[in-house]
Amino acid sequence: MLNNNKKGIAMIITLILVLAGVLTLGILKDKNSKDDNQDNYSANIEETKTAETEETAETEETAESEDVKENPQTETEEDVSAFYKKLKNKEAVKVLILGDGLALSQGSTSNNGVWDSGVSNLIKNTYGNAVEMVSLAQARATISVGLSVVNQIKIEDYDLIITCFGHNDNTAAVNINDFEKTYSEMITQIKEKSPKATILPILPSTLALDNNYRKKIQEVATENSLTCVDTKTAFVNSGLTDAKLLNGTLPNDTGYQLYTQTVGETIKTAMK
């Protein structure tokens, strides 16, 4: 009987030990599982953060790309005419002068007063370019003569075309509307025949600031996006008296040197 009791007790103890072992193993497995789940969760969080960061960066990059497409940067070099490109690259340039007696420097008394030659030398000395200067100006020419010359000659090869009309039209009292129409047609013909050329219309020094012919030249220039060479304003702002600038009603050597300087300043401004 005693032996049976001992066996019973031993069996109970064994069962208790087995149960304790099973419980301990279960707890350890549960802990490991939780640890694994925590590791997986942390890994998933990091992957999600990384993915979100990459997605955000990609979105921002795409947005920037779209913004560039919608707002392209202006290529200033493409906006510069062939003449100014050649100046920058020190290539030879061809210059054409169209105009009246002012374009011929009538009133000058020496070579120092020949302003078209002055412009040629200014370009050579300032920018280092070789210059071929051609003048088809005619004494007493009106704007109708200018249009006729443009229609008759080949001007496709010129890089810079300077027009100087209005003095004789004003003197001859050419109908102001006819003047405007013919001046506009001349500019149109020049642009069509020589689309890459830079055109610089001169506002003659002999036309007052409120002169109607001067105003029409300015209007035509504005309509065609052209910059005028304002020699009259240059005379006014020079601080010199008419006696220092004029030979009668026409510019003298000093006056024509202002023509050269004003053309040079107009070119310099466009080069910036």
Q: Is residue 200 within 8 Å of residue 224, measured between CB atoms?
A: no
Beta bridge partners of 234: none
List, for residues 125-173, the tens digit of each pLDDT value.
999 999 999 999 999 999 999 999 999 999 999 999 999 999 999 999 9
Work out the average pLDDT over 20-47: 44
- 72-79: long-range contacts, CB 8 A cutoff, minimum separation 24: none
Q: Percent of the chain, pLDDT > 90?
A: 69
Q: How far apart, in whole angstroms, are the C-alpha atoms of residue 267 and residue 272?
A: 9
Please report the pLDDT score of residue 16 as a whole number: 57
23 or 159, which is more confident: 159
Calpha distance 258→272 (Å, rounded): 21
The CATH superfamily holding the domain 79-271 is SGNH hydrolase (3.40.50.1110)
- 3-class DSSP state for residue 13? helix
- pLDDT, position 10: 57
Supply the pTM of this predicted model. 0.71
Contact 244, 271 (CB under 8 A): no
The CA distance from 103 to 202, in Å, is: 9
| Residue 178 pLDDT exceeds 90 | yes
Q: Taking residues 239-261, what's their average pLDDT? A: 97
Structural domain spans, the chain: 1-72, 79-271
Pairing relation of β-strands 250-251 and 246-247? antiparallel
Torsion angles phi and psi, residue 73, rounded to 5:
-70, 140
CA distances from 228 to 90, 186, 196, 249 (A): 24, 15, 18, 22
CB-based contact 247:108 (threshold 8 Å): yes
Alpha carbon distance 50, 57 (integer Å): 10
Q: How far is CA 172 from CA 90, 110, 149, 226, in A?
A: 42, 28, 20, 26
Report the chain's mean pLDDT, rounded to a whole number: 82
Answer whether 197's CB lies under 8 Å from 161's CB. yes
Task: Evaluate whether 194 touches 161 at the Cβ level (below 8 Å).
Answer: yes
Confidence of residue 59 (pLDDT cuts 50, 70, 90): very low
Q: Enumerate the β-bridge partners of residue 160.
A: 95, 198
Output 232 or 18, whichever has higher pLDDT: 232
Q: Which two tokens stand for residue 5?
A: 């009791």
Identify the three-state secondary structure at position 132: strand
Task: Please answer whether residues 190 and 184 qualify as being in contact, where contact means their C-beta atoms are separated by less than 8 angstroms.
Answer: no
